[in-house]
Structure 1
């Protein structure tokens, strides 16, 4: 695990993107990360995840999601808005 990338405990549901939003910090920079319901379902071995349970499912697979996000940040796989999207 890269010690220069830190993840905050704040996790929210984003109605605009319909994804779970969480944040990483690297060298003082805030990085917005988003994970889709489909990816949450895949990581939690479920057929689907409903919006109302997304944050709880995120918490159950947090370590896996943070590893994926960390790899994407290290590879500089940011979208046009500077966000990390995990689909």
Structure 2
């Protein structure tokens, strides 16, 4: 794990994007990371309907998601808005 990339304990559900965003910090720069509802449903093998269920699924997969986001940050796989998207 690269200690230059830090993740906070914050996460927010975005109903419009059907994704959760969670921040990362690298060298003082704030990077918004996203994980889609589809990804969470595929990895939990459950239909996730309520925000509470979605956030619980995110928490259960946080370690793996942070590792995936870290790899994408290191490989500079940013989208057009400068975000990381796991989908």
**What CA distance in whole angstroms lies between the structure 2 residues aligned with 1:8 and 1:35?**
15
Query: Within the alignment, does 1:50 sit opposite 2:15 as a pair?
Result: no
**TM-score, length basis structure 1:** 0.91
Q: Do 1:37 and 1:51's aligned partners in 2 also have CA atoms closer than 8 Å?
A: no
**TM-score, length basis structure 2:** 0.91
Q: Runs of 4+ in structure 1 displaced over 3 angstroms?
A: none
**What CA distance in whole angstroms lies between the structure 2 residues aligned with 1:75 and 1:40?**
22
TM-superposed deviation, 1:17: 1.1
TM-superposed deviation, 1:50: 2.3
Query: Within the alignment, does 1:20 sit opposite 2:16 as a pair?
Result: no
Structure 1 residues 5 and 54: alpha-carbon distance in aligned structure 2, compared to 1, 3 A threshold:
same
Aligned residue pairs total 86
Query: RMSD value over aligned CA atoms?
Result: 1.1
More strand by share: 1
Q: Structure 1: which 5+ residue stretches go unaligned?
A: none
